[in-house]
Structure 1
C-alpha cells in the first residue's frame, strides 16, 4: 500500500529523471530531450536543468527616490537565471534513450533551490524563447505586467506568457536586413507567479514523493 509522504520531504528531481529514463527504456521508445524539472514545496522551489531550456526567477522590488518627496519606482530583480549547457553551438546536452545509463544526466545537470515570496515570477521556456528575447527585454515585459496588475488592470500570467510567445515568434521571423535575425525554433513558455500561501496537497504529483 502506498503511503502519503510528508509535505516537507526533500524532493529528488534526479530520481524523477531516472524513473522517466527507465520507463522509456522499458517501453523501447526512441528519442532524446533536454530536461527542465521543477517542484514547489511550501515557499521553496527546486529546479533541475540539463541542456538549453532555461528559467528565470524575478522579484519585484521598490527603488527609493534620491530626494525627499520623489517617486518610488519598481524594478524586477533577477534572483536566478539558468545557464545553457552545450556540446557546441546548436548542440545542447540531452538525455537519450540510446544512452547506456543515466550518467549523461548525473554528471552534468544543475540542481538549485530558491526561496520564494509573494510576487516572484518564474519564467521557463525552451531555447526558442531565450535565443530570441534577451534577459533585459524579458525583465522589462515582466515589469510592465507587474505594474498593470498593481494598478488594478486585468493582467493574468497567461497574458504575459502570450506576450512573451508572440514577441519571441516575431523576433524569430525577423529578416536579416533588420539586424542579426532571429532563430526559428520551437517556442514554449511556462510561467508562474507566487501568490499567497494555500494548503499543501497531501500527496505529491511526483512519484518520488510517495513511499512504496
Structure 2
C-alpha cells in the first residue's frame, strides 16, 4: 500500500486533470487540424511521459508513490520545455527555414528516438518493479534486488538511457539545434555524475555481483 502521508490526493487529481487535458488537446490537434505536427506531437509526448511516470510507479512500486511521482516539480525539466518551445517558435515563425519546418529525415529519426527513449524508460520501471525509485537509495532494503535481466541486460541504467534519448529525440523532432547541443551536454554531464554517485552505493549493496555486471553491460549514453 501507499503511504497516505506522502500522497495529497487533491494534488494528484489536479496534475492528472492538467496532463489529461493537455494530452487530449494535443491529440485532437494531431488528428483534426492542419497545424504543424511538431508542437502537438511534442506536447503529446511530454504528457505521456509524465503520466507514465506516475502510473508505472503506482503499478510496479506503489509503496514508494507520492504526489510528485509525475516528476512535474522538476524546475530544470520545465525550463527545458520552455526553452525548447521558445527555440521552436523563433525558428518556425520568425525565421522559418526549410530544414526546420518541413517533414524531413531528421524528424523521422527524432520520432523514432522518442519512441525508443519512452520505451526504455517505461520498461525499466516495469522490469525493476520495487527496485526502481526516482530517488537514489542510500540504504539497502530487503526489497532491493540487483536486476540484470530484460532491458537491464542491454543497459545497466535503462531509465537514464531512456530519459536522455527521449529529450534528445524531442529536440531532433522540433528541429532545435541549439537545445539539442545544450540538452545532450547537460544531460550527459548530469547522468555521468549521478551514475558515479549511485554506483558507489550499488557496489556497497551488491559487491562483486554488481562490479561484474558493470563490466558486462554499458550505459549507452554518450560520454559515459
Larger radius of gyration: 1
TM-score (norm 2): 0.23
RCO higher in 1 or 2 (8 Å CA, sep ≥ 6)? Answer: 1
TM-score (norm 1): 0.24
Higher-helix-fraction structure: 2
